[in-house]
C-alpha cells in the first residue's frame, strides 16, 4: 500500500499541471478548501468551502480515517458550486511537532575552473542534512540562510561564482514522522493526490507578505484554533519558525469556564461580543452595559458584562503574545523588525487584537490582507488555504523555468520521506 502511495504521489508531480489549483488547509478546528483557475498571474476563484474538522489534536492528524472522511465531506461541498473532479491538492502541515534548527555544511568545489555549479550547491545543501536525528524525526525541508565562499560570508546566490571551498548555513525544518505519515495517508485515503506539502506558517506568509516585507524584516503570527504559528523573514528568506500549542480555542474554553456555559455558546459569545480591550472614551463606557444571549439549550438567557468578557479574553491573548515575544528574543529580534507583525488566522478577527499585539511586542502590527485573490482579501482566517494555492501557482512557474530541477527535487523529497 505504501508503494502505491509513492507511485500516486510521484506520478502526480511528474505529469504536467493544468491551470486548476486546489489548496487544502487541514486545521484542528476546520478543514478549508479553495479551488482557483490560473490565467497567467491572475487567479479566479472557482469554489471554496469550510467544514468542521475532527481527528486532529494541536494541529496534528491523530485519526487518519476520521480526517479522510471529513476531507471527502469537504470535497462534496466544493462540488456543490463547482461540479468537476478534484484530482490533487496543495496541502499544509502544522502542529507544534514542527520545529527548525540551524545547521551548516562544507564542500570543495568540484569543477576544474572553480566555478560553482548547481551540483555543488546541491551537495553542500545535502551536507547540512548530515546531523544525528531521533529515529522518529524527518527533515522536511532546508532553508538556506547564507553561503560562504573561501571565507567570504553573506552570499545569497553562489551559482557561477568562483571559489575552492563552499559553505552553507541553513535552517532545517524537522517534523515528527508518524504525524507526517498520518497527514499524507489521510489525504491519499480521501482519493486525492498531493501536489506538495507546505508548512502552515509559510503558506500564511505567502498569502499576506510582499517580497519587500520579507526583505525588510517581518513576522507573520497565525492564530489558529489550537496552535499559533510564527514565521520570521529577513533579507528575503526564512529566519525563524515556531508553532506554539495555544490558539483561539483556548479563548473559547476560558469563556466557557469563566461564564459557566457550554462550549458552543462560548464560541458564539466570542464571535459576537469578544474584544481585547475596554476603551477609555465616552462611547466605550457603553461597554459596561450588560449583554444578553440566548442559551443553546433554551434555558435562562446568559447575562454578562463586556468588562467581564474582556477580563477573560485579554489574559489569554496576552499569553499568546508573550510566547511570541520569547521566540523573537531567541533570535534577537524583539523590537527589531522594521516590517513589524502581520496577524492572520481566525483568531486575528478578535476586535482590538492588533492594539494588544502592539502593547506586548512593541512593534508595528496589522491584520494581514490576502494578496492576489480577489474577493477574499479581508478574511485573515483564509490566509493558510489561500497561501497554498498561491504557492501552487508560483511553483508551477518555477517548475516550468527550472529545466526539471524542481520536479526531481520534489521526487527526491518524496522518496526520502517514505523509505524506512
Q: Say how far apart CA 353 and CA 120 lie, in whole Å.
A: 47
Please give the pLDDT value at position 378.
87
How does DSSP assign 189-224, residue by residue? HTT-EEEEEEEHHHHHHHHH--HHHHHH-EEEEEE-
β-pairing verdict for 152-155 and 193-199: unpaired
- The answer to whether the beta carbons of residues 395 and 383 sit under 8 Å apart is no
Q: Say how far apart CA 122 and CA 319 lie, in whole Å.
A: 41
- The answer to whether the beta carbons of residues 22 and 389 sit under 8 Å apart is yes
How does DSSP assign 13-32, residue by residue? HHSPP-SEEEEEEE-SSEEE
| Residue 116 DSSP one-character state | -
- CA-nearest of 314, 115, 143 to 231 is 143
Dig out the grid coordinates for 318 from the structure: 496576552
Dig out the grid coordinates for 28 from the structure: 484542528
Q: Say how far apart CA 354 and CA 257 lie, in whole Å.
A: 25
Q: Which residues pair with 304 in a beta bridge?
A: 291
Please give the pLDDT value at position 72.
97
State the residue for C-alpha cell 502581520.
Answer: 342
> Angle at which helices 64-79 and 177-189 pack, to 10 degrees?
40
Q: Which residues pair with 47 in a beta bridge?
A: 35
Mean pLDDT in order along the chain per 10 residues (420 residues): 48 54 96 92 90 94 97 96 93 94 96 94 96 93 96 94 96 96 97 96 96 96 96 96 96 96 93 84 53 65 90 96 97 93 96 95 96 88 96 69 38 42
Residue 396, SS3? helix
E strands, 345-406, are 365-367
Dig out the grid coordinates for 394 from the structure: 508560483
Alpha helices in 226-305 (DSSP H): 248-258, 263-273
Q: Report the run of H or E that residue 127 belongs to, with start and end.
A: helix 118-128
Please give the pLDDT value at position 298.
55
Give the domains, in start order, of the chain with CATH numbers.
Answer: 2-96+177-201+382-418 (3.30.420.40), 99-175 (3.30.1490.110), 210-370 (3.30.420.40)
- The answer to whether the beta carbons of residues 58 and 245 sit under 8 Å apart is yes
Dig out the grid coordinates for 419 from the structure: 523509505
- The answer to whether the beta carbons of residues 19 and 36 sit under 8 Å apart is no
Amino acid at each position: 500500500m505504501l508503494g502505491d502511495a509513492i507511485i500516486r504521489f510521484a506520478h502526480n508531480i511528474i505529469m504536467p499541471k493544468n491551470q486548476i489549483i486546489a489548496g487544502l488547509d487541514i486545521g484542528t478546528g476546520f478543514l478549508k478548501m479553495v479551488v482557483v483557475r490560473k490565467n497567467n498571474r491572475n487567479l479566479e476563484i472557482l469554489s471554496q468551502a469550510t467544514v468542521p474538522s475532527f481527528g486532529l489534536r494541536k494541529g496534528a492528524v491523530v485519526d487518519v480515517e476520521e480526517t479522510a472522511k471529513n476531507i471527502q465531506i469537504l470535497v462534496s461541498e466544493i462540488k456543490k458550486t463547482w461540479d468537476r473532479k478534484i484530482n490533487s491538492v496543495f496541502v499544509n502541515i502544522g502542529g507544534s511537532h514542527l520545529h527548525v534548527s540551524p545547521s551548516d555544511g562544507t564542500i570543495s568545489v568540484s569543477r576544474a575552473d572553480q566555478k560553482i555549479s548547481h551540483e555543488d550547491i546541491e551537495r553542500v545543501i545535502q551536507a547540512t542534512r548530515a546531523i544525528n536525528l531521533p529515529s522518529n524525526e524527518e527533515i522536511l525541508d532546508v532553508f538556506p540562510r547564507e553561503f560562504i565562499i573561501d571565507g567570504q560570508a553573506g552570499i545569497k546566490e553562489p551559482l557561477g561564482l568562483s571559489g575552492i571551498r563552499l559553505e552553507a548555513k541553513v535552517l532545517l525544518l524537522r517534523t515528527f514522522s508518524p504525524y507526517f505519515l498520518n497527514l499524507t495517508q489521510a489525504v491519499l485515503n480521501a482519493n486525492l493526490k498531493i501536489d506538495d506539502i507546505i508548512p502552515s506558517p509559510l503558506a500564511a506568509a505567502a498569502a499576506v507578505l510582499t517580497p519587500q516585507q520579507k526583505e525588510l524584516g517581518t513576522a507573520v503570527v497565525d492564530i489558529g484554533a489550537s496552535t499559533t504559528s510564527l514565521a520570521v523573514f529577513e533579507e528575503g528568506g526564512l529566519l525563524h519558525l515556531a508553532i506554539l500549542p495555544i490558539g483561539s480555542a483556548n479563548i473559547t474554553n476560558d469563556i466557557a469556564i469563566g461564564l459557566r456555559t457550554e462550549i458552543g455558546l462560548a464560541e458564539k459569545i466570542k464571535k459576537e461580543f469578544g474584544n481585547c480591550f475596554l476603551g477609555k472614551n465616552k462611547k466605550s463606557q457603553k461597554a459596561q452595559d450588560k449583554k444578553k444571549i440566548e442559551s443553546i439549550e433554551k434555558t435562562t438567557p446568559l447575562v454578562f458584562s463586556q468588562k467581564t468578557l474582556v477580563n477573560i479574553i485579554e489574559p489569554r491573548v496576552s499569553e499568546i503574545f508573550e510566547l511570541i515575544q520569547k521566540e523573537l528574543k531567541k533570535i534577537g529580534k524583539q523590537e527589531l523588525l522594521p516590517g513589524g507583525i502581520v496577524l492572520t488566522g481566525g483568531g486575528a478577527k478578535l476586535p482590538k487584537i492588533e492594539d494588544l499585539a502592539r502593547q506586548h511586542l512593541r512593534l508595528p502590527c496589522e491584520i494581514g490582507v490576502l494578496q492576489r485573490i480577489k474577493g477574499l482579501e479581508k478574511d485573515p482566517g483564509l490566509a493558510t488555504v489561500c497561501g497554498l494555492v498561491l504557492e501552487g501557482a508560483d511553483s508551477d512557474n518555477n517548475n516550468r523555468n527550472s529545466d526539471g530541477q524542481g520536479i526531481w527535487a520534489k521526487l527526491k523529497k518524496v522518496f526520502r520521506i517514505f523509505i524506512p
